[in-house]
Structure 1
Amino acid sequence: MKLVTYNVHFGVGQDGHCDLARALDAVKNADIIGLQEVDSFWERSGNIDQVELIRQLMPEHDMAYGAGFEIAKRSKESGEMVSGPRRRSGNVILSRYPILSVRNFPLPKYGSGGGKLDIQKALLEVSVETPLGPLRVYNTHLCHLSEKQRSLQLEIFLEIDRRARLEGPALSGIHPGDESFAGEPALVSVPEKAVLLGDLNFLSTTKSYSILAGDTGDRWGRVTRIGGFVDAWCAAGHDELDGTGETSDSATSGDGKRRIDYCFVSESLSSRVVSARVLRDAKGSDHYPVEVILA
């Protein structure tokens, strides 16, 4: 089963040209895909609904969308409020297997001073029945400004993951005598195993990485927590600091080549990671996709 995470940068590639279809071409053969920075109704990406465009371009995949934020749109010429669709930006999950349920969670945010860009982030969750069994798939794009804010967002993710296994499915049980809402079949149990895809905006040398992957000891190196998450890049045999894992492009990101896009898998899935690689032929964004194969 092929998983991919890709920050598509709303379709603007390394040549500065906006072409979302080009970005999608690089990952369309994957079974489960997490996309970040998907636009709707922004001038910078052609003032179109990219969510609907993805649906049209990827009809073989089921799709879930979760906006990080939705805000009013103003006329570029007059500055007046425009009635109709509002601007949105968020995350998409595509799956060749049916998506059984969808939840979207806003992540913690505190505003930045000094005019620095600060964006409301969200965590998109789906449950999927895959050939490897039931799977929860998460997709997110963490804060780019602050290690402390990223750490807080990751702690919330771990709490959501823990609670998901305890709370049960979004629709469960029955309501006797009421056919208007609960007459439909309830959902299957929440999958125990999970995958986190995303532009996580941290390096493997940071506290944020250790929150997910476990702390390092002087003698034994990285210590994975039981029931925690494993960096699929490392499960595939790469070193945490392996330079071939760099996923951002210095020519367009402005901050050098760094490994900041990840696939983390439940500790119990780590033995099923066959390979992980960065798709360097993809030029449709200022990031490169990361592909992980599970078997």
Structure 2
Amino acid sequence: MKLVTWNTQWCRGLDGTVSVQRIVDGARAMADFDVLCLQEIAQGYADMPGGPGDQPAELQSLLPGFQLFFGAAVDEFDTAGHRMRFGNLIATRLPVRQVQHHTLPWPADGGVRSMPRLCTVVTVQSPALGAVRVMTTHLEYYSKVQRMAQARALRDLHIEACGHAAAPPLDDDSRSPFQTKVHTPHAILCGDFNLGPTEPEYDVLRQPFVTDGARRLHDAWHARHGDTAHAPTFRLFDRTYGPEPVACDFVFVSDELAPRVRRIDVDLQTQASDHQPVVVEFDAA
């Protein structure tokens, strides 16, 4: 199974050009991906730089054979009544078992710029790995208070899902909304976390917990590369937001998937966004 995650900056490159095609081409250059997780996808924000248009529709046309699931963290209307949405998108060619959109905490932090945040979850059926919860998100940049609350909520979502896998609800064949769901402890949590590996939120995400035994989320980079420092994913070419390149786009994996990480790499050349894309590939066994 191959997955690419990328904060696209609404598909706006460092040259100022908005190009959905360039994002798809860049992701395909990294891998023949089974799952594509994108953050900062826009729909209807005509006044944003580059005029992004309807990016979920563009992506659907560029990804034949894939199902697309757009999770709008922001869903609002302008004064003329035009709808505007902004958030995460997961595209996959694998069979899909369930889709969930989890609103993340947005506690008040007066005088600080912020927006609502979301975690989009698509449970796919991988021939090699079985059922896997693919979770993608984009945490708050400006508010540390909100970012910490969101990191804790992501960990809680994984704990809750592992609890259901360990103690599943009553089987139900009613073909109603109560019908039996797929519950799995196998998870991939990826996206732009807007924090570095030395921040306390990073430790919160990896803090062990107990359901049917000691479990945790592992940083896939270290699962593959050991103690080697993360490759930078932000501020590599554009220093608008700080003087040094940093890693803030991560892939976290559940216990069962950590030993199966065959490859995780960062494209350190592309300038199709202000972030660098990350690819992760898993062994079958």
Give the percent of matched residue pairs that are identical in Structure 1 and Structure 2: 29
Residue 251 (structure 1) aligned with residue 238 (structure 2) = yes
1:82 match: 80
Inter-partner Cα distance in structure 1 for 2:84 and 2:239: 24
Residue pair 1:147, 1:208 contacting (<8 A) in 2 also: no
Comparing 36-45 and 141-150, the one that deviates more: 141-150
| C-alpha deviation, 1:282, in angstroms | 2.4
1:118 match: 114
| C-alpha deviation, 1:191, in angstroms | 1.8
CA-to-aligned-CA distance 1:244-273 (integer Å, 9 cap, x gap): x10013516522311000100002211101
Residue pair 2:6, 2:39 contacting (<8 A) in 1 also: yes
1:218 match: none
User: Structure 1 residue aligned with 2:147, among 145, 150, 153?
Assistant: 150
SS at match of 1:251: coil
Inter-partner Cα distance in structure 2 for 1:288 and 1:264: 17
SS at match of 2:27: coil
Residue pair 1:233, 1:263 contacting (<8 A) in 2 also: yes
Give the greater-gyration-radius structure (CA): 1
User: Structure 2 residue aligned with 1:39, among 42, 51, 54?
Assistant: 42
- Measured on the aligned residues, the alpha-carbon RMSD in Å equals 2.4
CA-to-aligned-CA distance 1:121-173 (integer Å, 9 cap, x gap): 00111110002211001000011123332221121112222222344799962
CA-to-aligned-CA distance 1:59-89 (integer Å, 9 cap, x gap): 222211111011112xxxxxxx223x41110
Residue pair 1:252, 1:286 contacting (<8 A) in 2 also: no
User: Structure 2 residue aligned with 1:57, among 59, 62, 81?
Assistant: 62
| C-alpha deviation, 1:47, in angstroms | 5.4
Q: 1:47 to 1:261 in 2, by over 3 A?
A: closer
Residue pair 2:14, 2:272 contacting (<8 A) in 1 also: yes
Q: 1:70 to 1:291 in 2, by over 3 A?
A: same
Residue 237 (structure 1) aligned with residue 233 (structure 2) = no
Residue 266 (structure 1) aligned with residue 265 (structure 2) = no
1:68 match: 73
Inter-partner Cα distance in structure 1 for 2:125 and 2:240: 36
SS at match of 1:151: helix
User: Structure 1 residue aligned with 2:88, among 83, 91, 103?
Assistant: 91
Q: 1:36 to 1:53 in 2, by over 3 A?
A: same
Residue pair 2:107, 2:145 contacting (<8 A) in 1 also: no
In the TM superposition, structure 1's runs of 4+ consecutive aligned residues that sit over 6 Å from their partners are 168-172
1:17 match: 17
Opposite residue 212 of structure 1, the aligned amino acid is: L
Residue pair 1:253, 1:286 contacting (<8 A) in 2 also: no
| C-alpha deviation, 1:239, in angstroms | 2.9
State how many pairs are aligned. Answer: 269
| C-alpha deviation, 1:203, in angstroms | 0.6
Residue pair 2:18, 2:52 contacting (<8 A) in 1 also: no
Structure 1: tracts of 5 or more residues without a match: 74-80, 176-180, 216-224
CA-to-aligned-CA distance 1:9-34 (integer Å, 9 cap, x gap): 00110111111211121113311121
SS at match of 1:9: coil
Q: 1:48 to 1:153 in 2, by over 3 A?
A: same
Residue 209 (structure 1) aligned with residue 202 (structure 2) = yes
Comparing 60-69 and 31-40, the one that deviates more: 60-69
Opposite residue 108 of structure 1, the aligned amino acid is: P
Alignment of 1:276-291 (within 5 A): 276-291=264-279
Opposite residue 101 of structure 2, the aligned amino acid is: N
Structure 2: tracts of 5 or more residues without a match: none
1:137 match: 134
Residue pair 1:20, 1:284 contacting (<8 A) in 2 also: no
